[in-house]
Amino acid sequence: MSNQNGQQNPGSPTKVLVFGIIGLALCESGILGLIFSIIGLVQAKKYVAQYGDVSNQVRIGRRLAIAGLILSIVCIVIYVIAIVVSSAAISAAS
């Protein structure tokens, strides 16, 4: 999407905030939280590269996206451990 000067518009700072919130909200699902958090971080990087400043919405959105990313990774690790332990328990019971 281009603006009047023909430059690419990296999006509004609200987009970063929304992706950060969604990433944090979906962190328990694992993969979805990971995806939305990464998108939020990429949008924040594009915004800062284009405008050079960081608004409060970008700052908060980036922090939420980082928190969502970390929690999503932790949830994925817990899910993998739970699957391995339950598989071992089922095979031991057989």
Q: Is residue 7 part of a domain?
A: no
The C-alpha angle with vertex 63 and arms to 59 and 68, in degrees rounded to 5, equals 145
**Rounded CA separation 9/33 (Å):** 25
In a domain, 2, yes or no: no
d(CA 83, CA 44): 35
Closest CA to 22 of 45, 38, 42, 44: 38
Q: Domain total for the chain?
A: 1
What average pLDDT does the structure give for the chain? Answer: 87
Residue 8 domain flag: no
Domain, as residue range, for 33: 13-93
User: pLDDT-based confidence at 7, cuts 50/70/90?
Assistant: low
In a domain, 5, yes or no: no
Which of 1-5, 15-19, 20-24, 68-72 shows the lowest per-residue confidence on average (mean pLDDT)?
1-5
Over residues 8-54, the pLDDT tens digits come to: 555 688 899 999 999 999 999 989 999 999 999 999 999 988 888 77
